[in-house]
Amino acid sequence: MILKLSRRTLISSFLTLLFVSCKDSTNTNGRLNKQNDLKPIRLKIGKMADFKSPYTPLSIYRVAIIRVTENSQPSLKAISLLCTHQTCLVNFKSPTYECPCHGSIFDRDGTVLKGPAVKPLNWKKIEIEGDDIFLLPDSNVDKSWSLKI
Ligand code: FES
């Protein structure tokens, strides 16, 4: 059986379907429903044993994991390796981070020592779950923040 539809019926059906599908995913304010809200990106970057040294660069994730111990309490921090000038990957040449693109230099805690960058390197949140360490790459935390382990 061949069903013949007029162009008007076809367009009207399409618009109705489009309206229903959009309405189902939003509430009355046009905002996403709770179950559809975007969750922060969380990347598993390794196990606790992978971060025993004071400095572990993870270029693939564009961060370095710093292990610090204060008052016998070890903790981990994640510093972004993306230069704040034009996002080139900086290199750690103790005790500074140097950008190969235009020569910006940052100190150990990310503060700009030499431009053209004017903003410090960013620090990222990390989380622990069991033995696994996760990076939240879209987060930004204060440089004093650390994950107690
Ligand atoms: S991108 Fe680092 S100094 Fe320009």
CATH of domain 43-148: 2.102.10.10
| Ligand 1 contacts CB of residue 84 (under 6 A) | no
What is the token pair recorded at 9?
Answer: 């019926």
Q: What is the pLDDT of residues 68-121, one digit of tens each?
A: 998 899 999 999 999 999 999 999 998 999 999 999 999 999 999 999 999 999
Helix-strand-coil split of the chain, %, nearest 5? 20, 40, 40
| Ligand 1 contacts CB of residue 117 (under 6 A) | yes
Mean pLDDT of the region 44-51: 94
| Ligand 1 contacts CB of residue 85 (under 6 A) | yes
Confidence band (pLDDT; 50, 70, 90) for 37? low
Closest C-alpha residue for ligand 1 atom 3: 102
Mean pLDDT of the region 11-32: 46
